[in-house]
Amino acid sequence: MSRRAPEVTVRQLAPEERLRRLELMVTRRLDGMLQGQYLGLLPGPGSEFSGSREYRPGEDEVRWMDWAVTARTNVPHVREVDADRELTTWVLVDGSASMDFGTAEVEKRELAVAAVAAVGFLTAGAGNRLGAHVLRQDGIRRVPPRTGRVHLQALLHELLGADRDGESEEGADLATAIEGLQRSAVHRGLAVIVSDFLDDTGEDREPSWERPLKRLAARHQVLAVEVTDPRELELPDVGLITFVDPETGRRREVSTGNRKLRERYADAARQQREAVGDALRRSGASHLPLRTDRDWVADIVRYVLHQRRRASAAPARRRPMGGAG
């Protein structure tokens, strides 16, 4: 009786095979579950000003208030805009050391690549362009926005094979990367930030990336894709293990057999993730959490379907950015 060969995980494949596997996972399942030439990731208006109308409580966002007309008429008004026919999407991908971690089939970096592949597929269309900023160990790599499948594949290959051993460029953190993205994204469009958002996030202080993200969201529609791994949320009882901080290289031995320590770890991790979620909400970004141990394609599909339902319930003029479904 022959033994069945163990299934090869994505992480064990060569880079080209990993990229091909991830591409198939994204395109086959998303194409089958989401239909339409334009699939809009976020509901909302485009960028061309077309007039004003009276404010509708509970329906309109305060950030779209037309204060000049409101002051003249003493009646609250909001700006109306026409949806763009062509969409420029910018993605900022965190390729810092903390993303080189994973205890499931995919590590965080590979999940980030898959998220970018999904964004590229969902925003594909005639004239739509995709550009990227990649925060790497040796600095920030900028990829100009272009159209087409070949461009997307080249970008994914760049992300999957980014150098993991270089020294971090001084000042090249997530906040700096968001500021750089804001300078590059001249025209209104969609900005997608893919990160674990672990940069100096504490319970009692504002993350350094929150204010730059808030400024970015004031002009663009922003989707924050938060990538996490289950071992970042809770510790298993596996005895004495050595923790290594991927950003600094510091090591510390921890006895995971201590139940109180595991509880404190889980509580601290929960508070940290809540702080990230709160900061993203304050910034005005939409939040899509993805985990390496979950069916992330299904999570993306659920998110997109939810956004499309929101868009279809809104007035006809407020169509999903990038087109209608």
Q: Are 90 and 191 in contact (CB under 8 A)?
A: yes
Summarize pLDDT for 164-222 with one digit per residue, the tens. 544 444 447 899 999 999 999 888 889 999 999 987 655 567 899 999 999 999 989 89
3-class SS of residue 67 = helix
Q: How far is CA 275 from CA 175, 205, 245, 247, 281, in A?
A: 16, 9, 20, 20, 10
Q: Are 151 and 117 in contact (CB under 8 A)?
A: no
Rounded to whole angstroms, the Cα distance separating 252 from 278 reads: 30
Q: Position 262: which residue type?
A: R
Q: By percentage, how much of the chain surpasses pLDDT 90?
A: 26
3-state secondary structure of 304: helix
> Long-range contacts for 254-261 (Cβ within 8 Å, ≥24 apart)?
261/235
> Higher-confidence residue: 62 or 324?
62
Question: What is the pLDDT at residue 131?
Answer: 93
Instruction: Find all residues with CB under 8 Å of 20, minimum gap 6, and list them.
Output: none
- Specify the range with the lowest mean pLDDT, choosing from 52-66, 164-178, 236-250, 290-304: 164-178
Q: How many CB atoms lie within 10 A of CB 179?
A: 16
The C-alpha torsion from 150 through 151 and 155 to 157, rounded to 10°, is: 20
Q: What is the CA radius of gyration of the chain?
A: 21
3-state class of 109 per DSSP? helix
* pLDDT of 168: 42
Eight-state DSSP code of residue 202: B
Phi and psi at 146, nearest 5°, equal -145, 170
Helix axes 149-160, 108-122, angle to 10 degrees: 170
**pLDDT at residue 39 tops 50:** no
The closest of 234, 241, 228 to 265, measured between CA atoms, is 234
Domain ranges of the chain: 15-39+84-313, 48-82
Instruction: Supply the pLDDT for residue 65.
Output: 85
Please tell me which residue, 263 or 19, carries the higher pLDDT value.
263
Which residues are registered as beta bridge partners of 82?
Answer: 48
User: Which CATH code fits 15-39+84-313?
Assistant: 3.40.50.410
Residue 152: the pLDDT is: 86
